[in-house]
Amino acid sequence: MTPLRTGLALAITVGLFYALCALIWALAPGPFLGFMNNLFHGMDFSSMVQPRPFAWTGFLTALLVLSIWAFFAGVFFVWLSSRLAR
């Protein structure tokens, strides 16, 4: 594993999964909210949902931030893993 390849792979993976999550939310918000409520042991997130139109700027900002964070996490993981293997 090289740090840059691992960072890039993780950044792309996180970006794709975030985009998929946003797409599912846009297509089926009700069932997706029910799934999230069940995923978090019955917590009710419905009070946090406010009806508003989809905002590309918010989506792209979150996508960029998550991808950058994942890139650095992947680079750090390989760096730390190689240090611990010694």
pTM confidence score: 0.84
Number of helices and strands in the chain (H, E): 3, 0
Quick one: average pLDDT of 8-33? 95
pLDDT in tens, 73-83: 999 999 999 99
Quick one: average pLDDT of 2-12? 97
Indicate if the pLDDT at residue 54 is higher than 90: no
Could you tell me the residue ranges of all domains in the chain?
Answer: 3-48+55-85
Comparing CA positions, the residue from 5, 2, 10, 18 lying closest to residue 73 is 10
